Amino acid sequence: MGNSASSVPQVVTDYLDHLSVERGRAVNTLRSYTNDLGRYTAHLAGAGIDDLGNVTERDVTAFVSALRSGETPLAASSTARALAAVRGLHRFAVREGVVRADVSAGVSPPSRPARLPRTLDVDQVDQLLAGCVGDGPTALRDRALLELLYSTGARISEAVGIDRDDLDPGSRTVLLRGKGNKQRIVPVGRPALAAVDAYLVRARPALAERGAGSAALLLNARGARLSRQSAWHALRAAAEASGLTASVSPHTLRHCFATHLLAGGADVRVVQELLGHASVTTTQIYTHVTVDTLREVYATAHPRARG
C-alpha cells in the first residue's frame, strides 16, 4: 500500500513537485508546505492511515485539533496555514484522479482571537499631542486634527470629511459622516475647540487663499480638503516629534477615546453611539482592554490579590 499512487507520502511528494515545477512557488512557501504536510503525514500514520483514499473529513478535523492542543500547540494563524496546505493536497489528489472526493473541503480553520486594539495611556496621548508644535499653518492644522480625533473618536476619514458648517462651537458638537454615509453628532471637548479656533483664526485663511474655496474644515497646503494619507502622515510625524516610542496607527486616537471613556465609567452603549458602531459587540472589544487594566491594578494593589 505504501508504494501505491494513493499512498499519503507519494501524493505529498507529487504535490510538492507540482508546486515547485508547475506552479513555481517560492522556496519559503515550499518549505512551509513541506513542514505542514510532514505533520499531516505523521498524524495520519499515527492513526494507522497510509492511503489518502481512506482519509475522512473526521481525520482532517482531528489533525486540526491536534495542532491546536498538542504539547507545543500552534497559533490559530499557523494552524490555518497548515490546513491550507492539507486542502491543497486533497484538491490536487482529486484533480489527478487519485481520490474521488475532497474530504478536506468542509473543514474550517480555527477562528483567530480578536486582536485587542493598541492604545496609549492619558500621559502618552498628552505627549503625542505635544508633538504638534509651531505657529505655522500646517502645525496649527495638525494640532486641530489630532485634538479632534482624540476628543470625538472620529475615524481619520470622518475627521477630514468635516466641513466648516459641521462644527457648532456654541453647542460644542460636530457632525460626522461615518461608514455608509451614516451621520452622527458627537460632543467636542474644550481643548479641541480651542485648537480648532486657533487654526480657523490663524491658519485656515492663509491655506484657503491657495485654493478654490473648499468647504472643508481641514485644508492642505493647496487649499483643498486634507486627504486621509496626509492626516495619517501628520499623526505619524507628531509621534516622531514627541519622542513617543509606542507604535501609532490611523486608529490610535480613536482606540484611546473609547478605552479612556470606558475606564472613566462610561456606559458601553454610549461609547457605541459615539463611535458609530452598528453593534455593541464591536465596541465591547474595548471593555477587554479596560478589564485587563483593572486586573493589573488589582493584582498590585489588593493585599490578598496574590493569595
Range list of β-strands (E), 199-270: none
pLDDT tens digits, 63-72: 999 998 877 7
pLDDT confidence of residue 299: 77
Q: For 166, which DSSP code?
A: G
* Residue 182 known to be catalytic: no
Task: Answer for the pair 286, 117: CB distance below 8 angstroms, yes or no.
Answer: yes
pLDDT at residue 227 is higher than 90: yes
Going from N- to C-terminal start, the domains of the chain cover 8-95, 122-300
Burial class from Cβ neighbours inside 10 Å (0-12, 13-18, 19+) for residue 69 reads: exposed
pLDDT at residue 113 is higher than 70: no
pTM over cut 0.75: no
pLDDT confidence of residue 2: 43
User: 228-242 vs 137-152: helix axis angle to the nearest 10?
Assistant: 100
pLDDT confidence of residue 45: 96
Q: How far apart are CA 256 and CA 246, in angstroms?
A: 13
pLDDT at residue 13 is higher than 80: yes
Q: How far apart are CA 289 and CA 268, in angstroms?
A: 13
Q: Which residues pair with 225 in a beta bridge?
A: 219
List the catalytic residue out of 90, 204, 225, 277.
277
pLDDT at residue 298 is higher than 80: no
* Residue 302 known to be catalytic: no
* Residue 298 known to be catalytic: no
pLDDT confidence of residue 90: 97
Q: Which residues pair with 111 in a beta bridge?
A: none
Q: Closest by alpha carbon to 143, among 207, 261, 231, 215? A: 231
List the catalytic residue out of 39, 90, 141, 155.
155
Q: Model confidence at 306, in pLDDT bands (50, 70, 90)?
A: low
* Residue 286 known to be catalytic: yes
Task: Give the ranges where 180-307 is alpha helix by DSSP (H).
Answer: 190-202, 204-208, 228-242, 252-263, 268-275, 280-283, 285-301
pLDDT tens digits, 14-40: 999 999 887 777 788 889 999 999 999
Q: Which homologous superfamily does the CATH classification assign to the domain defined by 122-300?
A: Intergrase catalytic core (1.10.443.10)
List the catalytic residue out of 39, 43, 143, 254.
254
List the catalytic residue out of 179, 202, 269, 295.
179
Q: Mean pLDDT over residues 136-143, rounded?
A: 96
Cell 478536506, residue located:
104
Q: Closest by alpha carbon to 50, among 101, 100, 98, 8? A: 8
C-alpha cell at 65: 485539533
List the catalytic residue out of 143, 251, 255, 260.
251
pLDDT at residue 292 is higher than 80: no
Domain 8-95 top-level CATH class: mainly alpha
pLDDT at residue 159 is higher than 70: yes
